[in-house]
Amino acid sequence: MNSDKQKFVEAARCGLKWLEVQAERKSAGQWKHEILKRVCNAVIDSSGDRVSFIAKDIYESEKEQESGSQLNKEFRRFGKILDSWAESFNEVAMDYGFSVYLSGKLLRPVQHNVLELYVRKIDSSATVSKDKIPQGHIRYTVWERKALPRWQQRLLNRDMGVGTHLFLAATFLLVPIVALIYAVALGFLTYYQPTIWNVSIFIGVICVEFFVLRGIYEFWYFHDRKIMMLPIQFTPLEQPPTALVMRGEKDKRWPVIHAMATSAECILCDGTVFLRKESHYRYRVIGACNRHPTEHRFTFDYTNMLGKVLAD
């Protein structure tokens, strides 16, 4: 077996170990995990010869072959799924002594979607292994990390060209002005025609405008802070509280904004630490234990995925 094939086999074994870890956390069991399991077993069984797959290569029943089956739906976006698991794969690889982990890209030829696998070397600068966590610190585990679509990147990154900057400035100036004018006009209508209907509409509009303007205000300062909590309305139900993080990448001209779902084990009790917005500092993101969130609190450093105990 040559060195390239050995790396694929090692990366596939890392993928199976990752599935074991996810099963212990009770976060495995979805179709995307089943696809990873079948792909990793196929790579190992072939001694690294098979590194590309089409959907029918992993079918195990006739039902799965239906075009609308859940397996086919997940397979069509499996390249992006592997990319979203990169940090988590890297962490497991470091913990269990692997030097590489799996990644992939979905190619779309004329007839079939083809999943092309490749391996990535571990990045020891991204975090530390579980046996090297500093005393009094926790290590956050990334569930998923997804880059936002390009139009959302441009909306939140004020440096992506003069056009984007002008559009954002117009949006963040005009929306509050229009909202204020509408509220004043509705207020006059309510004053001169104080019906229950008008009063109810006025109160409802004021509440909606308050939350909209507060959200716009927070998104405007996200560019300077580089991190903020994603509103709960946009967080998938199966994921823990999620943060938006802006960070530079070597092969990208502009910083890339990711939605990062993460958690950690509390070192002060047997609870789980999730991210949340600090109540005393509007834009600060911290970790709080789900068993004792007021006392068991930690910093969150997304550059190395570590956090230390916060002292009041």
pLDDT tens-digit map of 157-209 = 766 555 566 666 666 677 677 777 777 777 777 677 777 776 677 677 777 76
Mean pLDDT of 256-278: 89
Amino acid, res. 273: V
Q: Quick one: tokens of 308?
A: 């230390």
Condensed to tens digits (0 to 9), the pLDDT of residues 25-68 reads 766 567 888 889 999 999 999 998 888 888 787 777 767 666 66
- DSSP structure class, residue 301: B
Condensed to tens digits (0 to 9), the pLDDT of residues 70-115 reads 777 778 888 888 888 888 899 999 999 999 999 988 887 656 778 8
DSSP string, 112-140: --EEEEEEEE--TTT---GGGPPTTEEEP
Flag whether pLDDT at 271 surpasses 70: yes
* Polymer length of the chain: 312
**Total-model pTM:** 0.74
What average pLDDT does the structure give for the chain? 81
| Predicted pLDDT of residue 267 | 92
| Predicted pLDDT of residue 120 | 92
Tell me the pLDDT band of 247, cut-offs 50, 70 and 90.
confident
Within 49-195, where are the H helices? 70-76, 78-84, 86-95, 150-156, 162-192
* Residue 79 CB neighbours (<10 A): 19
Distance separating alpha carbons of residues 143 and 273, to the nearest angstrom = 13
Q: Are 289 and 296 in contact (CB under 8 A)?
A: yes
Q: Where are the domains of the chain?
A: 3-126, 153-225
* Helix or strand (DSSP H, E) at 128: none
| Predicted pLDDT of residue 3 | 81
